[in-house]
Amino acid sequence: WVRGRPSLRMWALRSVAVVGARACTEYGAHMAATLAAGLAERGWVVVSGGAYGVDGAAHRGALGAGGATAAVLACGVDRPYPPGHTGLITRIAEQGLVVGELPPGDHPTPSRFILRNRVIAALTRGTVVVEAALRSGSLVTARAAQRLGRHTMGVPGPATSGLSAGVHELLRGDAVLVTDAADVVELVGDIGELAPDRRGPVLPTDLLEPRTRQVLAGLPARGTATAADVALRAQTTQDDAVARLYELRALGYVERHGDGWKLTRQALISVRGGRSPC
């Protein structure tokens, strides 16, 4: 049973399920909405269960991006459930699709939510779990997707959160870790739809010639060092080290103190910016 004008068959060909905890955290709601918006902007249909928490955030994220979303209910499509999402489900029916296995008028029961999760998994090319405890119904959807040979994905969360435990358990198995829509599309999309390379910020020292960077790295964070000491640490000759130290002085990275060389404040900021505090 379907409410809405689009073709369910055509939408299912390019759809992704975004599911998770009803009592999700602010982080979970943010990630669900951001993922859904990113998928919608890339032309993917976001499918979820219309429930509170992650489901609702995913639907709103897709709608907010002007994209397509479908809600799969555990009751008749004429009975918006939960009642608090009547407005949202009505909006989905007007702009997208509301789907249900049960005939109009049927009420939801606990067992029907399990069956509903199977439908979500079957309709989509992959399932993303955002937050889920170890006994979450979202894991039922993910496992149903695995049995059907569909992609299963998980968004990692804090190791101290019980709502991360189910997702992390999936990730220890066959699920793939994703952090944004590009990661999801790389997995479920066509050949060539690759996520961008992940790189940190470009630092001024990245623009230096590699051997010059090596000489810069040979200077201690505090105090001075002779050209001979720097050459030893940089594994180069003393003449080469001296030439590169003068080059670095011209660029403002080092200064000379008698027979020694010292990093400037500019250099300390640039070098520390490229290192993890851990």
**Rounded Cα distance, 27 and 180, in Å:** 13
- With cut-offs at 50, 70 and 90, classify the pLDDT of residue 191: low
Domain boundaries, the chain: 2-188, 204-273
Quote the pLDDT of residue 207: 76
The neighbour count for residue 247, using CB atoms within 10 Å, is 16
Q: How far is CA 16 from CA 37, 161, 181, 251, 258, in A?
A: 12, 25, 10, 51, 66
Displacement of CA 54 from its chain's centroid (Å):
14
Please give the DSSP secondary-structure letter assigned to residue 218. T
**104-133 per-position pLDDT tens digit:** 889 888 888 888 999 999 999 999 999 999
Tell the residue number behind the tokens 């069956």, with chain if given. Answer: 115
* Residue among 142, 209, 196, 201 nearest 173 (CA): 142
**37-68 per-position pLDDT tens digit:** 999 999 999 999 999 999 999 999 999 999 99
Average pLDDT of every residue of the chain: 89
- How buried is residue 69: exposed, middle or buried, by Cβ count under 10 Å (0-12/13-18/19+)? buried
**pLDDT > 70 in the chain, percent:** 92
- How buried is residue 230: exposed, middle or buried, by Cβ count under 10 Å (0-12/13-18/19+)? buried
Quote the pLDDT of residue 230: 92
Task: Name the more confident of 89 and 208.
Answer: 89
Quote the pLDDT of residue 111: 84
**Rounded Cα distance, 80 and 77, in Å:** 7
Architecture of domain 2-188: 3-Layer(aba) Sandwich (3.40)
Question: Residue 7: is its pLDDT beyond 90?
Answer: yes
DSSP 46-79: EEE---TTHHHHHHHHHHHTT--EEEEESS-TTS
Quote the pLDDT of residue 151: 95
Give the length of the chain. 278
Indicate the fold that domain 204-273 takes in CATH. Answer: Arc Repressor Mutant, subunit A (1.10.10)
Quote the pLDDT of residue 192: 57
Q: Is the pTM of this model over 0.85?
A: no
Quote the pLDDT of residue 190: 73
Question: Residue 198: is its pLDDT beyond 70?
Answer: no
